Structure 1
């Protein structure tokens, strides 16, 4: 799986493809800098979990597209940021990708701007992400392998205090939208899991190119504060 930097979320296809391409470059760049003195003692997500929160953000189009980034940044003493990012599919698959990295403030600002992230209360970020994970788990889909490590950055943030009520799926059912990099075998496996769990009529599926047909009125979340 791949990773991110700056991109515009215009459609699901662009979102997922950009995540994979940009994040692959980000991983390579991060690996090349591991030996630099200022990054030689990078904390883990768990070690950074008590640091002050710098920002908490979610993709502007996530409610409309059902897929987008969500990120939490905590401030390190040297001015850098400990960042956890999640690619969240609220329609079906939960957290499709995740990573924890130490970034400069400039890198994080560029990433947030390119991905059209908007500020949300940290409790709502955690509630949104964990709700998507729980929804997908119930369908038979675990989160990305790096999710548990990245989620340690949440620390003591309390999701329960968020007043926003999030819903998942689309029009009352899971909606599996196959991404541009999903293989036929992956599509069949996901459809098979959903069919066993819900029956043939218990979910919807489509390709990313068909996404505009379902985004109208397909949002989630009822704002009641913050």
Structure 2
């Protein structure tokens, strides 16, 4: 592929939110070829001043949904109490004058990626604690404050994993994605459960479509599922 054509394909895939590894895989080239092209494109883009971060939070027990090693700076509490579901809620708040602007992501780290996204939504600064309390109401205990880099890796990493299974993020994710900031493409989290996709049916899922997609892209026997739990 000519250099100009390769650069244009990288630009197109990057605009669609693909990670460097996904771009390399799609273009059938080594990541070492893609990385300098991404850096070249990024250097040519006009830089907007990033809005200051107010904070990032995830639910207690988030670390039971992904595997990682070597990051003692990533806190968690309450894993034993919350159990395992693969679902992680991520909330990111940034400055908005005297208020804040908030985005919320519901992330299925075991299979579907971003199942829902909210925002950016303006919230009065004094009401941010109550917004967070409502966002995490399904989990016991207070939300856990985490670094932005962890929020990025949970959300973007889960999207990359889900795309490999045939699932795109929720349609509203595009409006909220910029709130997470520029991702460096690094993700040292392990998604899926015990090395395999695990689908747990949710109340608003099209279960038959999801199961068909998994069978088509992964194959029977190569994923787990739990269905019939609708209330």
TM bucket normalised to smaller: 0.5 to 0.7
Q: CA RMSD in A?
A: 2.2
1:177 aligns with 2:200: yes
Map of 2:181 onto structure 1: 155
Corresponding residue of 1:99: 118
Conserved in 2, the CA contact under 8 Å of 1:83 and 1:102?
Answer: yes
TM-score under structure 1 length normalisation: 0.63
5+ long unaligned stretches in structure 1: 1-47, 211-226
User: In structure 1, what is the equivalent of residue 5 of structure 2?
Assistant: none
TM-score, length basis structure 2:
0.62
How many residues were matched structurally? 156
Summarize the alignment of residues 37-186 of structure 1 with structure 2, pairs less than 5 Å apart. 50-62=50-62, 63=65, 64-78=84-98, 80-100=99-119, 101-114=121-134, 115=136, 116-156=142-182, 158=184, 160=186, 165-182=188-205, 186=206
The match for 2:213 is 193
Unaligned segments of structure 2, at least 5 residues: 1-47, 66-83, 137-141
Structure 1 residues 180, 49: closer, same or farther in 2, change over 3 A? farther
Cα contact 1:123–1:158 (8 A) shared by 2 = no
Point out which structure has higher relative CO (alpha carbons under 8 A, 6+ apart): 1
Q: Which has the larger radius of gyration?
A: 2
